Amino acid sequence: MSIHIGAKPGEIAETVLMPGDPLRAKWAAETFLEKPKLVNEVRGMLGFTGTWRGNSVTIHGSGMGMPSLSIYANELIKDYGAQTLIRIGSTGAMQSHIKLRDVILAMTASTLSTPSKGLFKEINFAPCADWALLKNAAMVAENRDVATHVGGIYSSDVFYDERPDLNEQMTRHGILAVEMEAAELYTLAARYGRRALAVLTVSDHLLTGDALPSEDRQSSFGDMVEIALEAAFA
């Protein structure tokens, strides 16, 4: 048991999928895992452990934003020994060729600030995905014929962004999409020698204003979860 995770020793798998929404964690666990067991519900942040093709997997919510994810990722790594952490979540597209429901594999994650920024002082650390996970996920997506894009994303530290000039520069420099957690996850993985990847589903588009209705989001995220699971155990 840690401060924010009530799981007992041995109840967290070495492979952890991390959606932001705890209810999405519940949906993914009940949909894709065999015999999922609720192992955490401290502060309403749900975590479940079960098996996928005989492999032990935990699906645990991270909350919204890098400060929240940092708490759970730190405890999953340091207190429970998690080795592979894959963010599964929604993202907003920033390039015209990307469509709703496409999957994005985040090779790098640019950001203005993370909870880890103070460690680096004047250095602009470049957080990136684990190469083996990224390669596996790209191969899985290609075999499943899922529309997938691999490249850099932007991890914002605010949801209600009032910096259109910054978004313009992100788009200009080829950033595929924006979300709120991956940069800190990649930084923590680098610090502790773990594997990390963000597999994201496009739920809205910053250029066109298109967005999936809330009822369609869950049903559109199945490919993302399956890509993450297959990549972890390839």
How is residue 44 annotated by DSSP? G
Q: Is 94 annotated as a binding residue?
A: no
In residues, how long is the chain? 234
∠ CA 186-92-85, rounded to 5°? 25
Is 180 annotated for ligand binding?
yes
Please check if 4 is assigned to a binding site.
yes
Query: Rounded CA gap, 196 and 86, in Å?
Result: 5
The token pair at 97 is: 């060729």
Q: Is 113 annotated as a binding residue?
A: no
State the residue for tokens 């060729």. 97
Q: Is 210 a catalytic residue?
A: no
Tell whether residue 220 is among the known ligand binding residues. Answer: no
Q: Is 62 annotated as a binding residue?
A: no
Q: Is 87 annotated as a binding residue?
A: yes
Q: Is 44 annotated as a binding residue?
A: no
Annotated active-site residue in 145, 204, 210, 223: 204
Distances (CA, A) of 233 to 14, 55, 110, 112, 217: 11, 8, 27, 33, 26
| 144 known ligand binder | no
Work out the angle between the directed axes of helices 222-233 and 22-32 (0-180°, nearest 10).
70
User: Residues marked as binding for phosphate?
Assistant: 20, 24, 43, 87-90
Catalytic residue numbers? 204
